[in-house]
Structure 1
């Protein structure tokens, strides 16, 4: 029996959340499982998304993996992060990776954070321009391009998936899942890596602070990425996050 990893994707999303990470995981794990939540498959309707069905799915999958593998790591993004922590308390998990865990959601401070980020980087780019520092200008220009690219991608996801007439019912199931996860997660006793981007459009900093406070293991890392949004691994600049995750898993 060899190592396995369970990956839990985000709300109204799919296994594509982990695309940049998958080639590296294939080098490290004999078995990789990415269950697709009810109603989230390519030929399914979000009408079929339920809290009960989602919990049953992930519980069955973690039981199957822990029964067949001596070591199971769990990686979750957004809603999947909240569910991953929930599973880690109820089952034998080796290591836990939480990417922008949505234990709290809707970042009302995001607009101010983004304005501050824009001013800071535009000012730095202007200084580099007047100093004729071409490398500096290029560096800050790339940072701003990444932010605008992430926003465009996030808006596209909202337009294509979120703006549906049946969103209210789907959202209620999302809220039920988060409530269940929070009530069922009182402490995290395994090595845990928590990642969050300061430009996150959905998850506030309080969410990762709360999860960090629940961690009891000495091998716990909370890393805040100054230039990242909620897209995390889907961002143009995901290389640093990938490196940090792999370093944590390999340690």
Structure 2
């Protein structure tokens, strides 16, 4: 049996990767598993939670699949992409998929555009449909500075290990992502040592790439990559 572990991002939940998880469940008979990192989920409780706990949760998820599956794939979104890269370095996973992976974070120019768009949507009474508003309306006050520092700790820990990642890797990045800039995908491609690696750029995807207008194309690309 094949297993697939999906890891969400900082301050997020499995919702961020759920469309891809459901796509893979419908297309395959794999054991597709999404985890919720400590302190994360529908209600955030990040105070006092360390990056080591996030790494441990990711390790427990991949170890569980490795015990029951012949092949295991790991997919990570945003900070989850860094955790997934760490697993690919530490464990015998077959393939790695990085979605908007936060080797770099905050794209000031795009974030400014998104903020202006959010203001316009608010004036038109369409704020509830704005991605930036949906993602951050309940998170800013619930995210202590200490948690942000732990996120940065994950980045500092994993970036030097990327050159040790040798498993086939697919990197996907939205070109209008206000959180993770496109240069992050370029950096990952250059740093990861895998001989089989590729980059998929979405011209329309913002940060929540699994919820983008062209996500079907991304999902097919992921499916083909994992089945090669």
Query: 2 CA distance for matches of 1:28 and 1:81?
Result: 22
TM-score (norm 1): 0.78
Query: Within 1, Cα distance between the matches of 2:129 and 2:176?
Result: 10
Question: Unaligned regions of 5+ residues in structure 2, if any?
Answer: 118-125
From the two aligned structures, give the one with the greater helix fraction.
1
Measure how far apart 1:182 and its partner are. Answer: 1.4
What CA distance in whole angstroms lies between the structure 1 residues aligned with 2:22 and 2:182?
30
Residue 59 of structure 2 corresponds to which residue in structure 1?
59
Partner residue, 2:198:
221
Contact 2:205 2:213 in 1 (8 A): no
3-state SS, counterpart of residue 21 of structure 1:
helix
Q: In the alignment, which residue of structure 1 is the partner of 2:95?
A: 95
Between the aligned partners of 2:44 and 2:189, the Cα distance in structure 1 is 35
* 2: CA distance, partners of 1:42 / 1:108: 27
Distance change >3 Å, CA 215–CA 173, structure 1 → 2: closer
Once the two structures are overlaid, the 10-residue window that deviates more, 211-220 or 190-199, is 211-220
Gaps of 5+ in 1: 119-147
- How far did 1:245 drift? 1.2
Q: 1:191 deviation in Å?
A: 1.1
- Secondary structure (helix, strand or coil) at the match of 1:7 reads strand
Aligned partners of 1:186 and 1:151: how far apart in 2? 39
Aligned to 1:242: 219
Query: Residues 169-190 of structure 1, C-alpha deviation per residue, up to 9 Å, x if partnerless?
Result: 2111111111112133323211
The CA deviation at 1:48 is: 4.7
**Alpha-carbon distance in structure 2 between the residues aligned to 1:107 and 1:44:** 24
1:173 aligns with 2:150: yes
Kept in 1: contact 2:128–2:134 (CA 8 A): no
Q: How does 1:108-119 map to 2 (within 5 A)?
A: 108-110=108-110
> Where in structure 2 are the equivalents of 1:20-35 lying within 5 Å?
20-26=19-25, 27-35=27-35
Question: How big is the shift at 1:237?
Answer: 3.4
Instruction: Describe the SS at the equivalent of 1:20.
Output: helix
Task: Tell me the residue number matched to 1:10.
Answer: 9
